[in-house]
A and B are shown apart, each in its own frame.
Chain A
Amino acid sequence: MRPASPAGDPVLRARAVGFTYPDGSVALRDVGLDVAVGEAVGLLGPNGSGKSTLLRLLAGAAGRHAGSIERPGAARPADVALALDRPVFREWLSGADNATALLRLRGHPVDGARAGVREWIRRFDLEGAADRPVGTYSRGMRTRLALAIGFASDAALLLLDEPLASLDPGGHGRLATALADARRGGLGIVLSTHDPSFAAANCDRVGFLCEGRLVAIDTPPALLAALGDATRIEIRVEPGAVAADARDLAASPGVRAARTTEDRVLLEVDDAAVALPAALERLFATGARVRGVEVRPPDLREAYFALTGARLERHNGT
């Protein structure tokens, strides 16, 4: 596909990238992506959609791929930093030693590497554990260490593979702050995530990957524009207890459209104050047990569904 081009100088330019694993499974098809200096691009897609493979290739992995990947703003391998969702460290060495070693391999001077990574270790709240062996870290702590190394690397392009997957809410906040600082500092960022809200709030543009294709890439407001302005009501119910038909719910007063899955009902409404009581009444009448209700504007999860016909989360729907 033809990539939507950002305004600034490019740090990354990928064209028609395709990749097939040695076992013959096709992971990426015809992916085009530009990333500008100081821009953060989010990649959304369900498991197996090609996000991690794309990040590996953008990082310069040796696997043979179709198309071209140029890094005009990050020519040397050390100009690109990749933080994996399951980072690998020397288990018996401390977090600080691992970080220092990996930064020194990138060409950082010894003292600079130590000082730089200490600052980022502090920012990701690992200070108390920095001198402990990594083998004693939780998965979230390993992710925070990988992020600290990535941000301390002085790279021009930072690639983050599902950094939110094992972070607690405090970690989400620290990452958001770090991303904002890094963007102001001119770092180009590509991050994959399953969290549409985080992507919408922290990325300049968001791309939708579906079965190896980059189906859409644009700013969050532009992606949401296609969904209209209807308010969303999401009603979470006991799994398997949604007996109400989507058509019945859509007939409720004030409801434009309705969709049900195994454990939730999603309504598009004009006025939540009118539509919600009527919809709940119909649900209760069918014996459904309601666990929670959320009223919100349209989000990228729905935009993904609208543009790809597939869901970000893999579960059955009607």
Chain B
Amino acid sequence: MTIWWLAWRSAAARRRLFAWNVSVPVALLAPVAFSAAAAPHRVAVFGVFFVFFATFGSAIPTVRDAGDGWLDTVFQTGVSRSSWLAQTALAATALDLVQLLPVTGLLLASAPDASPVSDLILAGAMTVAFLFANFLGVLLAALVRSLAEAALASAAVSLLLLHFAGFFRTPVTAWTRVAASLDPYTPLRVALARVHAAGAGGPPTLLPTLVALGTVLAIALTARLWTRRFEWPAMR
């Protein structure tokens, strides 16, 4: 659990960064939460922010850690790549949940249909979405050559997945309904819509949850192959 320990120790040592990661989401999303914006728009803003927060927050530090040689130093110790990835992504997911707790509280305080049940469903959906986003972010970091590319890839892939999850339109056609039923971010959209009374219901969330967890598992199990991009000599 050393990687997990390092992540939390680092977060505790970088208090200023932690404070920014808590306060910026509040500053950006509180006006939206308490505005008169239509519920679907609020769902879209919160969904995009949450997914970007987790994906960027995973991809960009990974590119930086690979570039400065930290990951090479870690891998030289003989630590299993899958174990490194799992601990890194799980710690990042837990940190994301902690850092977004205040803004999530504001979201629920402003939501007309929030209830203990919907709150719990939202917490579960956020956990699955953050877990998927953090694994995806590390994988994307292995495919790019710079911080700029990491940001671009994170944004492009996240927006595509958010789109297919139905954040930007109601899935009506047959194929978009199929896409939404498989998209890892669909449970997040459904949970956000439920607390905002924005067309609760939608596609079942069990299948996309299983797709998200299955993808995470596949990324972890194949880590030995694609994490070579993070080692010396730099192939970037």
Flag B8-52 by CB within 8 Å of A: 1 or 0 each. Answer: 011001100000000000000000000000000000000000000
Interface residue A87 (Cβ < 8 Å from any Cβ of B): yes
Range for the number of chain A residues in contact with chain B: 20 to 34
Interface residue A88 (Cβ < 8 Å from any Cβ of B): yes
Interface residue A101 (Cβ < 8 Å from any Cβ of B): yes
Main secondary structure of the interface of A (DSSP, over half): loop
Task: State whether B233 touches A21 (Cβ < 8 A).
Answer: yes
Task: State whether B235 touches A22 (Cβ < 8 A).
Answer: yes
Task: State whether A78 touches B78 (Cβ < 8 A).
Answer: yes
Range for the number of chain B residues in contact with chain A: 20 to 34
Q: Which chain B positions have C-beta within 8 A of A101?
A: 2, 5-6, 9
Given contacts A78-B78, A101-B5, contact A90 B235 (CB under 8 A): no
Task: State whether A93 touches B233 (Cβ < 8 A).
Answer: no
Q: Which chain A positions have C-beta within 8 A of B5?
A: 101, 104
Interface residue A139 (Cβ < 8 Å from any Cβ of B): no
Contact of A76 among B72, B74, B78 (CB under 8 A): B78
Please report the number of residue pairs spanning A and B whose Cβ atoms sit closer than 8 angstroms. Answer: 66
Flag A106-136 by CB within 8 Å of B: 1 or 0 each. Answer: 1100000000000000000000000001000
Task: State whether A82 touches B76 (Cβ < 8 A).
Answer: yes
Given contacts A77-B78, A106-B77, contact A92 B233 (CB under 8 A): no
Task: State whether B10 touches A92 (Cβ < 8 A).
Answer: yes
Given contacts A61-B232, A63-B232, contact A93 B70 (CB under 8 A): no
A77 to B78, CA, bound (A): 5
Q: How far is the CB of A136 from chain B (nearest CB, A)?
A: 12
Task: State whether A92 touches B14 (Cβ < 8 A).
Answer: yes
Given contacts A56-B232, A101-B2, contact A90 B10 (CB under 8 A): yes
Q: Which of A65-114 contact B (CB under 8 A)?
A: 76-78, 80, 82, 84, 86-90, 92-93, 97, 101-102, 104-107
Q: Which chain B positions have C-beta within 8 A of A285?
A: none
Q: How far is the CB of B183 from chain A (nearest CB, A)?
A: 34
Task: State whether A102 touches B232 (Cβ < 8 A).
Answer: no
Contact of B79 among A63, A89, A105 (CB under 8 A): A105
Interface residue A226 (Cβ < 8 Å from any Cβ of B): no
A105 to B69, CA, bound (A): 16
Interface residue A59 (Cβ < 8 Å from any Cβ of B): yes
Task: State whether A87 touches B78 (Cβ < 8 A).
Answer: no
Contact of B2 among A56, A61, A105 (CB under 8 A): A105
Task: State whether B232 touches A88 (Cβ < 8 A).
Answer: no
Q: Which chain A positions have C-beta within 8 A of B232?
A: 56, 61-63
Q: Which of B219-236 contact A (CB under 8 A)?
A: 228, 231-233, 235
Chain B interface residues toward A at CB < 8 A:
2-3, 5-6, 9-10, 13-14, 68-70, 72-74, 76-79, 228, 231-233, 235
Lowest 5 A-B CB distances belong to which pairs? Answer: A77-B78, A105-B77, A88-B69, A78-B78, A104-B2
Chain A interface residues toward B at CB < 8 A:
21-22, 56, 59-63, 76-78, 80, 82, 84, 86-90, 92-93, 97, 101-102, 104-107, 133
Instruction: List 16 contacting pairs A-B, 8 Å CB cutoff, sorted by A.
Output: A21-B233, A22-B233, A22-B235, A61-B233, A63-B232, A77-B76, A88-B69, A88-B70, A90-B70, A92-B10, A93-B10, A93-B13, A97-B9, A101-B2, A101-B6, A105-B3
